[in-house]
Amino acid sequence: MSGSPLLMDDDPMRGDHETTGSAPPSLPLPTQNEMSSKDMEIIKSLDSRSFGFLDLHVIPKNSHHRTSSSSHHSNSGNSISDFVSRQFIAKGIAVLQSQLQNCNETTKPSLLCQIGHLHLLLEQYPEALSAYQNYSLLSTDCSFNTSYLYGIALVYFAYGKYDWSLSAFLKILSLSPDFARLSEVHIRMAMMYKDNGELKKAMEHFGQAYTSAGPCSMSRLEVQFHIGHLYFMRGDYTRSKHCFESILASKNVPNIIKGLALRQLGWLYHTVPQVASHGETPNIKAIELLKLAVGANPSCGQAWYFLGRCHADQGQFKEAFVAYRQSINKVEKQPDTWCAIGILYQQMGQARDSLQAYITAIYFDITHTATWTDLGLLYESCGHLVDSLLCYKNGLAGLDKKGGGGGEGEEKSRKSTHLSQHDSVTEMLMSRLTFVEQHIQQTGGLAVHSSRPRSVLPSLQEAWTTLVPQHFKLQYPNNE
């Protein structure tokens, strides 16, 4: 199988985590590598298809029975979850690792595959990947083993290796159209296609998951939310609105889903005013919905950010700051919010505070084109033409890397819908860049039509080294 999309020769994760039969050093395994025959039956019944369907964060109902080798599984009414815990699975791994030391070449592949499944259930992805890879090297039929294909697809999904994950999922659909976890396959394929901007394929797979009768770790309301968001991304705002309103009209909607639907419906009113009914003021309606969203799910930083944006557009700066602060309290590492704070400060004439907010946004996302653009405009307005030029160039570089003009929160909501946005942002940046370059050549970098002294702001380099809050540098050192 070497060289296939499911096990790449140049896999960057391969090698560092490969095992030779010994237990991974990070795994706290029990010292006694023995289990009763009944417990081993349970261990062998677990595979990748159990992923997401075992609650390993609670103590199993019958865990106290496991010290006995009696027939404690005789009650057929008990589900496997009644007997499985993280410690139980870890002990199973230890037993299988011990068996691996003394097994023959015929049984070794199946043991490795089982070990991979168990590590996957514990979300120990490096160890799972290593076991699966070693299994695929020894097995002659791994490409037809759907539980292995499902397991390796989940590992690649966790690592963000979408091409390889999709390849394995597609193989499963080809081999087994009635696969036991078909809904899970469709859900993850839909999420990957959505993230990649392949919205038509994403819609197809979310639709398959929504109509599937099989077990699914995502509720129908969650799937419906994603479908509504996809309609928004595709520019079908009427269907998007209907989808979110349908969720809100459902019975017994969990607060998290309710908050998400209210959040996106509020943002829809803000960004697409024409969806408002007769007599509704779009931005007022948006604020109303977003307040309900943060009421339903106060921990959603994105909803607070959207609420702040709406308040800012109404000129309600105090309310906007409160909402942005709430957003930062929920998710510190959010460049969209820091950029929005910078815009507010700039509108209030507080240039240095604005600069610090912009620099913080860039610290968290060096490719955040919206922030580079606003920072360039700030420097240009203060007469710092050389720094302004650098900002515009970095903004264009961010566009090339991301293909959009916003950050994560906004770009993912629009990147495949408003294709002209990329061109308009590029055109605007090129226009400012050309203007600034010409005036630098003509004036040697002196201020142009600026009412502010050049010394009002530190240079871009100085700001980068001095204005990022120290606790962010300590907490997120890799961003430097």
Q: What is the CA radius of gyration of the chain?
A: 27
The whole-model pTM stands at: 0.81
The 8-class DSSP code of residue 23 comes to: P
∠ CA 280-284-286, rounded to 5°: 95
Q: Which residue has the higher pLDDT, 446 or 408?
A: 446
How many CB atoms are closer than 10 A to CB 28? 9
Cα 143–148–151 angle (5° rounding)?
130
Give the residue-averaged pLDDT of 31-58.
Answer: 85
User: How many Cα atoms sit within 13 Å of 400 on the Cβ side?
Assistant: 7
* Nearest alpha-carbon partner for 410 in 271, 316, 286, 279: 271
Q: Which amino acid is at 368?
A: H
4 strand-pairing partners: 7
pLDDT of residue 128: 98
Per the model's pLDDT, the better-predicted residue between 37 and 291 turns out to be 291
pLDDT for residue 67: 40
Is residue 3's pLDDT more than 50? no
Q: In the chain, what percentage of residues exceed pLDDT 90?
A: 68
**CB contact at 8 A, 265 and 289:** yes
Band of the pLDDT at 35, cuts 50, 70, 90? confident
Whether residue 145 is predicted with pLDDT greater than 60 in this model: the reply is: yes
DSSP per-residue codes, 308-331: HHHHHHTT-HHHHHHHHHHHHHH-
Question: What is residue 219's three-state secondary structure?
Answer: coil
Q: What is the pLDDT of residue 30?
A: 47
On the question of pLDDT at 406 being above 90, the answer is no
Could you say which DSSP state residue 7 is in? B
Q: Rounded to whole angstroms, how far apart are CA atoms 281 and 265?
A: 14
